Structure 1
Amino acid sequence: MSGIAYVRGDATMPLGKGVKIIAHVSNDLGGWGKGFVLAVSRRWPEPEVAYRAWHRDRAHNDFGLGAAQFVQVGPYTWVANLIGQRGIRTGSKGAPVRYEAIDSALARLADKALELGASVHMPRIGCGLAGGTWSRVEPLIAERLVRRGIAVTVYDHGD
């Protein structure tokens, strides 16, 4: 048992009460335009604006693999932009997913969730366009978040 709750639904409409952080994985190129981020942008413009500004000013901030950016989109709702993929295409170096970067970003997410007293909500991060496998991502979530007492809900889109 991983301690992760799995539900059918849309992670941009997180279930439950209290403060919630919606987490997703982004690339290190500043690209925002495919996958789960489109659903995020349909609900809130702020995470994309913040991510693009973070990338644009990367010479003067912590933007890069393993970094995390937290954008408040409502009184009790935040979006976590986690940098966990190198580039956007599968090539000679394999899929864009970088598990060690997801792990580092999840550690930052855990600190923020504990600071806010928040639960964490996400799709199967790193497993869509990033090309990762859930069997490698799920243990990172269990170790970084669940083990620290943070409630995690993973949303599988119902068709």
Structure 2
Amino acid sequence: MEIVQGDLLKLALAGQFDLILHGCNCFCTMGKGIALSIKQHFPEAYAADQATEKGSREKLGSYSSALVERGDARFTIINAYTQFDWRGRGVKVDYDAVRRIMRSLAKEYPNAKIGYPKIGAGLAGGDWNLISLIIDEELAGLDHRLVEYVAG
């Protein structure tokens, strides 16, 4: 896993990625963290989330997607359903869901330049060491980068 610093959304708009992904809950909220920024800047990604069944456990381990075109930039945003709910305390990320999503993305987008934040390790309370191992295993051999947020 390559690690870069910056703003994932700005890097995508600058043409650095073909695919960016972020973790979502299954209730179509996108109300905090990077999901809120995506909702505000890329309404097509929020619309893709809204088109899924609110509160469905069946979404865990799947994703919705939206193609974004802004000027010369063209990339896909993946709303990865990595946690069921956002309420309550404790770990909310579902590690198996993370694995299933990464495995699916590796098959569907084998030639994409992929960027992501610390999926499941922020508001979802997951163990980044474990999540990063899952990502490295499932995206092995692909062009993928963790973007550690730095305002710019």
Question: Structure 1-normalised TM-score?
Answer: 0.82
Where in structure 2 are there 5+ consecutive unaligned residues?
none
Distance 2:146 2:17 in 1: 16
- Report the alpha carbon displacement of residue 21 of structure 1 after superposing the two structures with TM: 0.5
Q: Specify the alignment match of 1:72 in structure 2.
A: 67
Q: Specify the alignment match of 1:7 in structure 2.
A: 4
**1:139 alignment partner, one of 121, 133, 142:** 133
CA deviation profile, 1:37-82 (whole Å, cap 9, x unmatched): 1221232110001101113596xxx951101222111263000111
Are residue 120 (structure 1) and residue 114 (structure 2) matched?
Answer: yes
**1:35 alignment partner, one of 13, 33, 36:** 33
**2:124 alignment partner, one of 98, 116, 130:** 130
Distance 1:154 1:109 in 2: 15
Q: Specify the alignment match of 1:95 in structure 2.
A: 91
CA deviation profile, 1:90-124 (whole Å, cap 9, x unmatched): 44xx311110011111111112221xx21110111
CA deviation profile, 1:122-145 (whole Å, cap 9, x unmatched): 111111111112101001110111
Q: Decide whether aligned partners of structure 1 residues 39 and 126 sit closer, same or farther in structure 2, where only a CA change above 3 A counts.
A: same
**1:151 alignment partner, one of 140, 143, 146:** 143
Q: Decide whether aligned partners of structure 1 residues 97 and 56 sit closer, same or farther in structure 2, where only a CA change above 3 A counts.
A: closer
Question: Structure 2-normalised TM-score?
Answer: 0.86
Q: Decide whether aligned partners of structure 1 residues 89 and 57 sit closer, same or farther in structure 2, where only a CA change above 3 A counts.
A: closer
Structure 1 stretches (4+) deviating beyond 4 angstroms? Answer: 15-19
Q: Decide whether aligned partners of structure 1 residues 9 and 78 sit closer, same or farther in structure 2, where only a CA change above 3 A counts.
A: same
Task: Give the % identical residues.
Answer: 27
Letter in 1 for 2:149: H
Alignment of 1:43-54 (within 5 A): 43-54=41-52
- Report the alpha carbon displacement of residue 156 of structure 1 after superposing the two structures with TM: 1.0
Q: Decide whether aligned partners of structure 1 residues 139 and 57 sit closer, same or farther in structure 2, where only a CA change above 3 A counts.
A: closer
Q: Is the 8 A contact 2:27 2:54 kept in 1?
A: no
Q: Is the 8 A contact 1:14 1:22 kept in 2?
A: no
Distance 2:88 2:121 in 1: 13
